Amino acid sequence: MQQPITLLQLKSHKSYDKNLAQIVAAARSAEPNAIIVAPELAISDFDYKNLDAACEYSEFAIKELCKVIKEQILVLTLFRKEEGKVVNQAVAIHNGRVVHTQNKYRLFKLGNEHLHFSAGSGEDIKLFEINGIKFGILICFELRYKELWKRLEGADIICIPSQWGEPRKRHLEILGSALAVMNQCFVLIANSSNETMAKSSAIYSPMGGVVLNDAAEKISHAIDLDEVKLMRRYIVLD
């Protein structure tokens, strides 16, 4: 089954409106049934100085995106508040509504995320299904934790919204490829193209293939989901 994919490799602007407009425009130009993944905190960036404003804008952005995303599936992360605490929350939108959420569990201490975000429990890092496709999500730094890979065994597609730094560019590429081969699935990494970020947004296949273009703001490619079934029959890991 051919499935259109669109990865957004965007720069974040100071204007939340401009960042949201980039995502809306990309969705409108993508295939009607595309799976779209945006970089981590693509709308607000890590705007720690304006946490309340970022959280408030996230609620507006979700409502606007729900108006645009119908047959498509959009995965991104946003600042949100839960029980008075600020979290970095992954959101999957489909058919005009939020169908899955999960809070970032493994915070990147080198970037002082633990000083601004409350960590998720990790319990919501699990498979969810849309249109018969089994999805999983890891948020950026979580890609480094092999115990989280195990929680997502059986996924057809793992989406990774990310702001991964340029000094660790090869780590991102190696880990993304390894996860796809190990879990015999497709891995979709949407990484920021901000000045200090690695880019390296890519589609990794269970056979070890890769589609990557650091020069593009949008990477569009169709994947064959039958490759997941074929790989799991070819090399049985049970």
* pLDDT of amino acid 222: 98
* pLDDT of amino acid 236: 87
Cβ-based neighbours of 188, under 8 Å, separated by 6 or more: 5, 7, 35, 37, 157, 158, 159, 160, 202, 203, 204
∠ CA(21), CA(133), CA(232), 5° rounding? 130
Which amino acid does the sequence have at 75? V
Domains and CATH numbers, the chain: 2-234 (3.60.110.10)
Cβ-based neighbours of 225, under 8 Å, separated by 6 or more: 1, 2, 3, 133, 156, 157, 186
* pLDDT string in tens for the chain (238-residue length): 799 999 999 999 999 999 999 999 999 999 999 999 999 999 999 999 999 999 999 999 999 999 999 999 999 999 999 999 999 999 999 999 999 999 999 999 999 999 999 999 999 999 999 999 999 999 999 999 999 999 999 999 999 999 999 999 999 999 999 999 999 999 999 999 999 999 999 999 999 999 999 999 999 999 999 999 999 998 888 7
* pLDDT of amino acid 53: 97
Residue 61 token pair:
């952005």
* pLDDT of amino acid 1: 72
DSSP label at residue 127: -
* pLDDT of amino acid 235: 87
Residue 43 token pair:
């709308």
* pLDDT of amino acid 89: 98
* pLDDT of amino acid 138: 98
Cβ-based neighbours of 237, under 8 Å, separated by 6 or more: 184
Rounded to whole angstroms, what are the CA distances from 136 to 48, 90, 221? Answer: 27, 11, 19
* pLDDT of amino acid 4: 98
